[in-house]
Structure 1
Amino acid sequence: MTRPPHPHIPWSGGQGVRPLRVLGINPWITDFAAFNLWSRPVGLLACLSMLRSAGAAVALMDCLDPTWDGVAWPRPGRYGTGHYPKTEIEPPPALAFTGRRYSRYGLDRDMVRQGLARLDPPPDAVLVSSVMTYWYPGALDALEMAAGLWPDATRILGGPYPTLCAQHAARHARADLLVHGALERPENWTRLWRTLGREVPPLPDGAGLRLALDLYPAPEFAPVLGSRGCPFACDYCASRALHPGFIQSDPGPVLASMEVEQMRGVRDFAFYDDALLVAPQRWLWPVLDAVATRWPEVRLHTPNAMHVRSLTADTCRRLKAGGLTTVRLGLETTDFDHRHDIKLTRREWETGAANLVSAGFELADIGVYILFGLPGQDLAQVEQAVRHVHDFGFRPHLAHYTPIPGSPMFNAACLASPYPIAEEPLFQNNSIWPCVPGGFAWDKAARWKALLRG
């Protein structure tokens, strides 16, 4: 498929004489830096899939996707990743002290407004997503734009920002409804339809696990979502606040979605699961078997780190045979006696790493995330971890700590940070190193960059 002439956004689905029309907007990123690492708003896509299955007509405006033919976009990187176009803007007053360039990433704002203004017929409701709490300015801008274009449309804000920063969102978001947590929660599903003045339909099968990927006219890549939530409880993570349970899909819908996307030319698929290797026989093994036997041209990627303790020799062989191309691991620290996640022993780490190499993965394809900037963290331990990863021949990556409301570590982060991170989500931005004494500094950043290069 090709992208439509800009600016045009089509409606999809809809049952009955006058179906409910819901427009989903994935807003711009506002930050010091941003990179497209197979980025898709899977929460928003799950919501649009649920609404369409319940009889609504849906449309998507993803401000982080090329969307229309002829729009200037940076040259793609490897396997569909790459840079976003950006427009430098004034930083919010709270971040002016940094003296750093601040930008809006994604499609040109005027072009987005022009495309939305041509949406015919207009929407009854506008559902705006949020991803990082400190990206909320883009979400608020999208809500304001919707209010100006369609004053009578119901404006809904969902995602991590209103879920984890509910009071801040209630004060600042021009929304008629804030969705706290996943839409498939029965109480959220009921509130949404009642807010819209409609009878509440039953939740569709697979709610939360099916994605409306067809709303992208010419995708370079596609997400794979076989589960929601996470059975672990890492101190720095708010997964349980966002998705308290852990559910997994049957393999059939996952395989069907991948097959459809391949028919549209997609070859790169990124796993979005927080716990990819938990109970892999449920759905992951059938997916890997299908790639190995039927889809040899497919490349799989794990931008979310895999749990090293699950990397048995058999698992690594299956991953390699099943097309895994980009490998990311979560080491986080080599201080094995004082870890912040489910305990990983040195032996488990070394065994998992050796199993990957034995399975045939190239060293250059294996990246390892190391947590940086935790409250009270000994940065000498981070340096040790970087050198440890280099010794294995893998590529270390610093995973800069984001203090997330709802995570077990957040109270400690509030005590460690000089910024009011509980009151203002902008200060939760990991680019300012919110819990590192002295905060971000260019000379320190350059030193860490040199250490990572080895």
Structure 2
Amino acid sequence: MPQPPKAKRPKWPGITWHSSDSSSHEPRVLGINPWITDFAAYNLWARPAGLLACLETLRQSGASIALLDCLDQMWQESPWPRRKNFGCGPYPRTPLPVPWYLSDVPRQFSRYGHAYETVRSALSHLSPPPDLVLITTAMTYWYPGAVQMLRLVREIWPRVPIAIGGVYPTLCPEHAATWSADLVLSGPLETGGNWQRVWSAMGGTAPPLPPQAGFNLALDLYAAPEYAPILGSRGCPYGCEYCASRHLYSGFVQRSFESVWQEFRAQYQAGVRDFAFYDDALLLRPTTWLLPFLHQICELPEPIRLHTPNAMHVQALTPEVCRALFRAGLTTIRLGLESGDFDHRFDAKLSAPQWQEGVDNLFAAGFRAQDIGAYILFGLPDQNEAEVLAAARLAAASGIRPQLAHFSPLPGTPLFERAVEVSDRPIAEDPLCQNNSIWPCVPGGFSWRTKRRWQEMLAQTMAAY
């Protein structure tokens, strides 16, 4: 069958208001996904899901919403690297001076995303102006991009209240409070009084929260998306010592199949064919929504591709789940191996028999080895090379490509205190030093020589099996 026509990207400036109704009195909320400031960044089906959930919740409650995503090609005129890998690819980048306390890191520090003047012009042309600006942050150590955006917004609209939310103010609220935002939103919008504070900042009274608050995403704000997220649950019941999931969202809540399917269907009808699961615990209680969702996908007139950039829990890869994933079009498979030492792990969710059974179930369902990668934690406090190599050998022996997942020490997690003790950087004082690109808990930190050596060792490990 012929492919549906792709929507053309809007011309400059690319920011438009989307109203909940025709009322001229509804408050206007602009959501901004700011630049990434880092030594490295690559787009793996990235969308600011938390911000999109906030905007949709506000729209359902009577607000008019708009989006500026500095990390997405929202305008025809913007130069952007061509993406060939199912919508993934590099971001445009602008070299920046390295922060002085990271000056010993032998890497180029950059701002990733749209050019500064492009963003400034787009904001300046937005009419009418917003009544509130929401700036999100996806990583604690990306806060400089959010701070620069805050200052730019303040310059353009001096009297418009600005709120900062996301991972950074949730895990580092005291540090986030130093940048003079009008609101520092720690945790989800719908909890902890954040909902009331946001409406109060706009001079109104908070209405009741709509159904599915925090789940529905304002994906229609992207005019011509190459990919879309699927969010079927929030939170994670596991308490891994290195993970901040429980601090970002307490508990574990799943959506209904009908809710997930309705959101997916709208993106499918818009021409999207690549979808990435955003769940932290995708495979838990699969009969709630996942299995009905996968079975329904098989009835679509045209196939799609599914991706799991977040590692799946291997112990939940039952034969039924694996077969359903294969038939539905799962293309990119990432597993959470993390360590090859099953007796001394920073989590208690995987055993050696469970690992082998889950991998066997994937192959029995029809998946190819080249489609599967196993994440192995690298750079943990007190970690030695033998632990990492053991995990790599285990993955390779199973026919799966090992991939290093670089450790980032996150405030509030059990491993953070030990990371503070072993790191030679002030990771508790400045979130910039929590950056996994600098290997903050590896003696001596990042080096190109060590990076190349690990690449060679992983290649040799795969070749040996």
Coarse TM-score class (shorter-chain normalised) = over 0.9
Match of 1:90 in 2: 97
State the alpha-carbon separation in 2 of the partners of residues 295 and 422 from structure 1.
52
State the alpha-carbon separation in 1 of the partners of residues 457 and 221 from structure 2.
42
CA contact (8 A) 1:222 1:268 kept: yes
Match of 1:410 in 2: 416
CA contact (8 A) 2:342 2:352 kept: yes
Match of 1:3 in 2: 9
Q: Deviations over 1:90-131 (max 9, x none)?
A: 122221221421110011110011011000000111100000
* Range 68-77 or range 134-143, more displaced: 68-77
Q: Deviations over 1:393-413 (max 9, x none)?
A: 211110000000111211111
CA contact (8 A) 1:20 1:57 kept: yes
Structure 2 gap segments, 5+ residues each: 1-6, 461-465
Match of 1:20 in 2: 27
Residue 129 of structure 1 aligns to a residue in which SS? strand
State the alpha-carbon separation in 1 of the partners of residues 349 and 441 from structure 2.
23
| CA apart distance, 1:295 | 5.0
Match of 1:257 in 2: 263
| CA apart distance, 1:174 | 3.0
Work out whether 1:383 is the aligned partner of 2:389. yes
Match of 1:38 in 2: 45
Q: Given the alignment, which residue of 146, 151, 154 partners 1:144?
A: 151
For 1:36-435, list aligned pairs within 5 A: 36-171=43-178, 173-185=179-191, 187-435=193-441
Match of 2:3 in 1: none
State the alpha-carbon separation in 1 of the partners of residues 419 and 301 from structure 2.
45
State the alpha-carbon separation in 2 of the partners of residues 77 and 421 from structure 1.
36
Q: What one-letter code is carried by the residue in structure 2 that aligns with 1:131?
A: A
* Range 432-441 or range 188-197, more displaced: 188-197
| CA apart distance, 1:314 | 1.5
State the alpha-carbon separation in 2 of the partners of residues 344 and 285 from structure 1.
22
State the alpha-carbon separation in 2 of the partners of residues 143 and 29 from structure 1.
14
| CA apart distance, 1:450 | 1.5
Residue 243 of structure 2 aligns to a residue in which SS? coil
Aligned in 2, Cα 1:295/1:451: closer, same or farther, shift over 3 Å? farther
| CA apart distance, 1:186 | 5.2
Return structure 1 stretches of 4+ with deviation > 6 angstroms: none
Structure 1 gap segments, 5+ residues each: none
CA contact (8 A) 2:291 2:321 kept: no
State the alpha-carbon separation in 1 of the partners of residues 83 and 350 from structure 2.
36
* Range 400-409 or range 341-350, more displaced: 341-350
Q: What one-letter code is carried by the residue in structure 1 that aligns with 2:234?
A: R
Q: What one-letter code is carried by the residue in structure 2 that aligns with 1:242?
A: L
* Range 234-243 or range 294-303, more displaced: 294-303
Residue 375 of structure 2 aligns to a residue in which SS? strand
| CA apart distance, 1:14 | 4.1
Aligned-pair Cα RMSD in Å: 1.1
TM-score, scaled to structure 1: 0.98
Identity %: 53
Aligned residues between the structures = 453
